[in-house]
Amino acid sequence: MTVERLCTRSVKVLPILAFLHWNMDYHIEHHMYAAIPYYNLPKLNKLIRDDLPRPKGLLMTWIKDIFPALKQQKPNPGYVARPVLPDT
């Protein structure tokens, strides 16, 4: 298992935002395979998506993942959020 699947998030965004951010909505894929050019990240995602956590929208990622983790880390700095990974 690669640590990138645990500490980064891929999100669903509108196509114009994906273009403006060079497909960094495929953030896990970008960290797992840094040598892949940004324009090939959607193709890479199709090949490995069964091994990745399901992406959420940008707002839901902040509401469901990031804010709760920050709240837990305030009293407990050692807290680490663990995304649900597929059984592969």
User: What's the count of helices (H) and strands (E) in the chain, helices before strands?
Assistant: 6, 2
Domain tally, the chain: 1
pLDDT of residue 2: 65
Whole-prediction pTM: 0.78
Asked whether residue 88 is domain-assigned, the answer is: no
Round to whole Å and give the CA distance between 66 and 68: 6
Asked whether residue 40 is domain-assigned, the answer is: yes
Q: What is the pLDDT of residues 11-57, one digit of tens each?
A: 999 999 888 988 989 999 999 999 999 999 999 999 999 989 889 99
How big is the CA angle at 23 (ends 18 and 27), to the nearest 5 degrees? Answer: 120
Asked whether residue 87 is domain-assigned, the answer is: no
Asked whether residue 83 is domain-assigned, the answer is: no
pLDDT at position 1 over 70: no
Instruction: Print the domain residue range for 14.
Output: 4-73
Round to whole Å and give the CA distance between 18 and 32: 18
Asked whether residue 80 is domain-assigned, the answer is: no
